[in-house]
Amino acid sequence: MKRFAAVLAVAAFFAGAVYAFAADVYTYEAKNGNVTFNHKAHAEKLGDCAKCHEGTPGPIDVTKDWAHQTCTGCHKEMNGPAKCNECHKK
């Protein structure tokens, strides 16, 4: 049990370290306008990295399909911007 607690503590530390060093704002280039993503604002609002990172904090290979499924779906659930021009800025 002590070993499990130690592993959990180390995992929590590294998860925090990944969050601390993550860039605050990312810009993704898209054909119909760039999307600017504020990581810090999303992390604070959601409070659960697993909602986007599927249980493992760290970089995501953001593809058009992934973003439209994950981001748009979440935005619709939480009444965030969900229309094309609300995220894609020309």
The predicted-structure confidence for 12-57, as pLDDT tens digits, reads as follows 544 444 445 567 999 999 999 999 999 999 999 988 888 888 766 6
Three state DSSP letters for the chain: CHHHHHHHHHHHHHHHHHHHHCCCEEEECCCCCEEEEEHHHHHHHHCCCHHHHCCCCCCCCCCHHHHHHHHHHHHHHCCCCCCHHHHEEC
Q: How confident is the model at residue 77 (pLDDT cuts 50, 70, 90)?
A: very high
Task: Please state which CATH number belongs to domain 23-89.
Answer: 3.90.10.10
In this predicted structure, the answer to whether residue 11 has a pLDDT above a threshold of 80 is no
Does the predicted model carry a pTM greater than 0.85? no
